[in-house]
Structure 1
Amino acid sequence: MTQKIQPVSFISRFFGAFGQFFKYMGSGDYAARCQHVGQGELLAFEAEPKVITKEVEIIREVEVASPTLDTVNEDGAHQLLQLLQQEARFIDFLQESIDEYSDADVGAASRQIHAGCAKVLKQHFTIDVVSLDVVNSAVENSRVEVPADYDAKQIKLEGRVEGKGPYNGTLIHPGWKITETRLPKVSDTDNLTILAPAEIEV
């Protein structure tokens, strides 16, 4: 945009003319610049702006829609919480504030909770890595190739996702999936909301 030049008042022009006269007479370079301006050439601040073009990377984020359920079965969730409480005191640990405990105390308690939770998973579930050719035989931090028609529910691409694939990247985590569930069968589901009964010593 061309900068608008503000007009100079008569008094300023009158006194300025003397200074410009001696400056004009004393400097050949200054006199030459004045001649160029007098011939209608652009001033430095009136020059046309330089157009700068820059290539910008387009990053495409792949969003996977959350699964929608027509009905929600709460019994299995309640049953799992019951098992975690029985074997690992899981609910007790999460419901209690650990701010006042030292890291050593929290670490000692988490060992027992870890062992109990692992026992529940081992007894009632079979869990395996995501069974795909891309990650099935690969180890973490190794380079893998993801085909263009990959299943976005089983593979999550992170970082710059450009084009339609195939994609090359580093395996950060192989993923987990449940291959078998062995939760105990229950006939009375009314008691499943009681994760742990109140304990009273008499």
Structure 2
Amino acid sequence: MSQKITSISFIPRFFGAFGQFFKYMGSGEYAARCAAVGKGEAFAFEAQPTVVTKEVEVIREVEVAAPVLDSVNEDGAHQLLQLLQREARFIDFIQESIDGYDDADVGAAARQIHAGCAKVIKQHFTIEVVNSAPENSRLEIPADYDAKQIKLEGRVEGAGPYTGTLIHPGWKVTNTQLPKVNSTDNLTILAPAEVEV
């Protein structure tokens, strides 16, 4: 963008001429630039533009791919659903719409379902925390951490190690004791139809 040039009065020109005289006499480079301008060439500023380069680290999010299983044991999943239905009527609760109930009714039902589900989990599984540190404590995560056991949240920069705040300890199953069954033919029947005669 071109700037509008305004005329300078005599007094500033008079004192400016003295300053330019000494600058002209003291710097051969400045004198050469003034001579070039006098010939109509473009004026070269003393302050050359500075190119600033900065390395920027790429911010990446660590995503863990879902495990790929060669085979799926559906029997164990069906058995667990049977236990949850029997002790907590879990399937009944999930399959029914709760839109027509107020919060108090849903809360009362949830209390019973919670107790039944907790009973199933405690009887048949041993569950422990992945990280035993107190929540909100500061942790150092090594660069070679196990992404299946630790999920990094927020801005993940560089290759580690990382320092962060534990917001959830995680859960892991250390032992499973589902009841043994002789036949798996009826495991898909989570609860039989009940008929009163």
When normalised by structure 1's length, the TM-score is 0.70
Q: Tell me, in whole angstroms, the C-alpha distance in 1 between the residues paired with 2:163 and 2:56.
A: 21
Secondary structure class of the residue paired with 2:150: coil
The letter of the residue matching 1:182 is: Q
Structure 1 vs Structure 2 CA RMSD? 2.5
**Cα pair distance change 1:58/1:185, threshold 3 Å:** same
Secondary structure class of the residue paired with 2:187: helix
Aligned length: 158
Q: Tell me, in whole angstroms, the C-alpha distance in 2 between the residues paired with 1:76 and 1:163.
A: 41
The letter of the residue matching 1:196 is: A
Q: Tell me, in whole angstroms, the C-alpha distance in 2 between the residues paired with 1:150 and 1:91.
A: 38
Asked if 1:174 is matched to 2:156, the reply is no
The letter of the residue matching 1:61 is: E
The letter of the residue matching 2:194 is: E
In structure 2, runs of 5+ residues without a counterpart are: 8-39, 43-50
In the alignment, what sits opposite 1:18?
none
Q: Tell me, in whole angstroms, the C-alpha distance in 2 between the residues paired with 1:146 and 1:155.
A: 9
**Cα pair distance change 1:65/1:143, threshold 3 Å:** same
Q: Deviations over 1:100-123 (max 9, x none)?
A: 000000000000000000000000
The letter of the residue matching 2:87 is: E
Q: Tell me, in whole angstroms, the C-alpha distance in 1 between the residues paired with 2:176 and 2:93.
A: 25
In the alignment, what sits opposite 1:64?
64
Q: Deviations over 1:6-41 (max 9, x none)?
A: xxxxxxxxxxxxxxxxxxxxxx949xxxxxxxx898
State the 1:65 CA deviation: 2.0
Q: Tell me, in whole angstroms, the C-alpha distance in 2 between the residues paired with 1:75 and 1:97.
A: 27
Q: Deviations over 1:131-152 (max 9, x none)?
A: xxxx32x111111111111111
Q: Deviations over 1:71-128 (max 9, x none)?
A: 1110000000000000000000000000000000000000000000000000000000
In the alignment, what sits opposite 1:114?
114
The letter of the residue matching 2:143 is: A
The letter of the residue matching 1:88 is: A
Asked if 1:144 is matched to 2:139, the reply is yes
In structure 1, runs of 5+ residues without a counterpart are: 3-27, 31-38, 42-50
The letter of the residue matching 1:112 is: Q
Secondary structure class of the residue paired with 2:114: helix
Q: Tell me, in whole angstroms, the C-alpha distance in 2 between the residues paired with 1:54 and 1:98.
A: 56
- Summarize the alignment of residues 34-183 of structure 1 with structure 2, pairs less than 5 Å apart: 58-130=58-130, 135-136=131-132, 138-183=133-178
Q: Tell me, in whole angstroms, the C-alpha distance in 2 between the residues paired with 1:110 and 1:63.
A: 33
Q: Tell me, in whole angstroms, the C-alpha distance in 1 between the residues paired with 2:52 and 2:90.
A: 60
State the 1:201 CA deviation: 1.1
| Runs of 4 or more above 2 Å deviation | 51-58
Identity across the alignment (%): 79
